Structure 1
């Protein structure tokens, strides 16, 4: 198996490390249903997975019209999200094993998320893994968020790595598009929405969970080529 030269690992947050996409999906549907929106809501909410909040707000206004009660929907969404997360911030399967393996290899790692900086900080804190990253890049750090490559390019630069020598781990179609456009070695662990045919072509592998990601990286000897500390 071909050896991958890896200088850094860039990881999406929601749906990849944190099992929050299901939370967001449930909260979004509940908020819209509470205000009488039902037809096509599930499909619409699925289509917004992996997309930054402001872009989703634009999508909702376009879909439901200018009189759409965005403020009230956002309030209900926030309330439902808090209610669900009171039980704790769920991690995806294999998160700790992945982070341990990256650290054992001496590779830098960064969060690359479409969430805001405040949301990312709070959710990583709740999950008790906020201290395990060398950098946290959010939609607040760029003008164009995913599916554009800007966040991934900035993350690679922040870690002093070449984008094409970075492993990018994503769960969504827009996230894969962003990582691939940046030139990263892109791996997908699908969450709620399955990969499209185009997404599969952009990925070096589509895997069932993060434990499988660790196994694949070991087979490609990605953890045996530790980048010297500058």
Structure 2
């Protein structure tokens, strides 16, 4: 394991629940109360692709500008309450830094959003590199983001490990030839998604314990009595 590539939303930051709640609120505001299925389908998908999905589902009369306006209103209201890290995020980042393992955040968010949210969460200074949807022509589930992150770290994709929470992210890492660990957030993996994973674990503390057990990271592994 020469480098670790970390998804942001739902993996490091506990933002997916905020995004899902804001998406549902926006859809309700526009008069689409039965939108849970498409809201779940948009998890882990870049914004422009989500807009295309909404237009495909509801037709050209769907107001993208109205949706985005309502989404931002609800999102910013929730973010005022703070931007929490997922359990184990800080410990994993510190362990990777202490072991001098190159690391990058690989996110479907825009550069502006990624920089803002990582800073609000207090971990931007501990991340070597951030690769966003603004850096590539195709977002997840295409492999472009992961291939670019490995290239910028001067690493072969096959020597990297990806950590993801969603099927689009796992698909992107798999297509790039990168082994991936999934830590599911809102949605559990399907059987097909599980086949693309090196492991499916409950949280980032379990990821850290696995990396120590396998000898990729130094440190004591706590044993249950």
The aligned counterpart of 1:16 is 11
- Structure 1 residue 104 displacement after superposition: 1.3
1:141 maps to what in 2? 135
Distance of 2:128 and 2:98 partners within structure 1: 14
* 1:54 maps to 2:48: yes
- 1:178 is matched with which residue? 172
**1:193 aligned onto 2:187:** yes
Structure 1 residue 26 and structure 2 residue 21: aligned? yes
Question: 1:167, 1:102 → 2: CA distance?
Answer: 12
Alignment pair present for 1:129 and 2:132: no
Q: Residue 77 of structure 1 aligns with which residue?
A: 71
1:100 aligns with 2:120: no
Report the count of equivalent residues: 218
**Paired residue secondary structure (1:193):** coil
In the TM superposition, 1:150-189 aligns within 5 A as: 150-189=144-183
Deviation of the 1:160 alpha carbon: 1.1
Instruction: Provide, for residues 145-203 of structure 1, a one-character-per-residue CA deviation record: whole Å limited to 9, x for no partner.
Output: 10011110110111111111101000000000001111112000000011011110000
Q: Give the alignment's Cα RMSD to 1 decimal.
A: 0.8
Partners in 2 of 1:62 and 1:184 — Cα distance?
31
- Answer 1 or 2: higher relative contact order, Cα 8 Å, separation at least 6: 1
Structure 1 distance, partners of 2:102, 2:190, is 30
Structure 1 residue ranges (4+ consecutive) displaced by more than 2 angstroms after TM superposition: none
| Distance in 2 of aligned mates of 1:33 and 1:139 | 28
TM-score by length of 2: 0.95
Distance 2:211 2:171 in 1: 21
Q: Partner of 1:7 in structure 2? A: 2
Structure 1: 5+ residue stretches without partners: 1-5, 225-230
Q: How many Å separate the matches in 1 of 2:33 and 2:73? A: 19
Q: Deviations over 1:43-88 (max 9, x none)?
A: 1100100000000000001111101011011001001000000011
1:37 to 32, 38, 60: 32
- Aligned partner of residue 148 in structure 1, secondary structure: coil
Structure 1 window deviating more from structure 2 (179-188 vs 51-60): it is 179-188
CA distance in 1, matches of 2:3, 2:153: 7
